[in-house]
């Protein structure tokens, strides 16, 4: 059983907290995207997005910042390390995901609104090569509530980098997902051990609803 924090309460006060939505995009989440077209079961992603939608609504209602992360690539932006790794593992050309202009880079079921943070990135971590940390600090944010896809890759990398940038991190265990449920749970346990507190969607929504009272 995962070690959840039942009542995060003031630890995620809306005035200093951002809900971070990582890579909810067609290629990562939709059956019509690059991953889904290979026959992968996308139901774990869909279930996580159901809860992310609830969290976005709760964040907006409570006055918390909502921050959307999105992979945006072109062939010329693929790093040598990435291409070489793909070749060595026997999947040359496998880096072609979330290509600009393909439609795969589009948001899936979520839509930013004016005043939200939006970050385009090339790497797993939303902090690598971006101004995310500065945007958060400019708004007085020191706490991040993490959601998105996938738990073991971009959510994990972004959460660890957030910790390294001195942000307090909470990972919503039922509002992120992996293609492999075992990787999902193992990653959550590792983040709990090293960087983060684990919470549920219900606990976060309850905390933010209480903050409006």
What positions carry a catalytic annotation? 23, 121, 154
Neighbour tally for 191: CB within 10 Å: 23
Contacts of 84 (CB under 8 A, 6+ apart): none
- CA distances from residue 54 to 24, 33, 48, 49, 108 in whole angstroms, order as listed: 14, 23, 10, 9, 15
Cis peptide before 191 (omega within 30 of 0): no
| Of 192, 193, 157, nearest in space to 172 by CA | 192
């Amino acid at each position: 059983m995962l070690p959840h924090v039942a009542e995060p309460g003031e630890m995620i006060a809306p005035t200093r907290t951002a809900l971070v939505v990582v890579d909810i995009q067609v290629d990562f989440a939709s059956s019509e995207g690059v991953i889904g077209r290979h026959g992968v079961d996308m139901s774990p992603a869909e279930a996580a997005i159901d809860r992310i939608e609830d969290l976005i609504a709760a964040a907006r209602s409570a006055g918390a910042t909502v921050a959307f992360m999105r992979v945006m690539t072109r062939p010329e932006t693929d790093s040598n390390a990435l291409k070489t790794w793909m070749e060595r593992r026997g999947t040359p050309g496998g880096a072609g995901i979330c290509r600009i202009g393909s439609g795969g880079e589009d948001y899936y079921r979520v839509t930013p609104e004016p005043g939200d943070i939006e970050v385009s990135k090339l790497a797993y971590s939303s902090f690598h090569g971006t101004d995310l940390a500065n945007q958060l600090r400019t708004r007085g944010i020191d706490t991040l509530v993490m959601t998105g896809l996938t738990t073991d890759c971009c959510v994990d990398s972004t959460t660890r980098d957030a910790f390294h940038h001195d942000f307090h991190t909470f990972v919503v265990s039922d509002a992120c997902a992996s293609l492999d449920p075992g990787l999902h749970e193992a990653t959550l346990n590792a983040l709990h051990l090293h960087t983060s507190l684990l919470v549920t969607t219900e606990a976060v929504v309850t905390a933010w609803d209480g903050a409006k009272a």
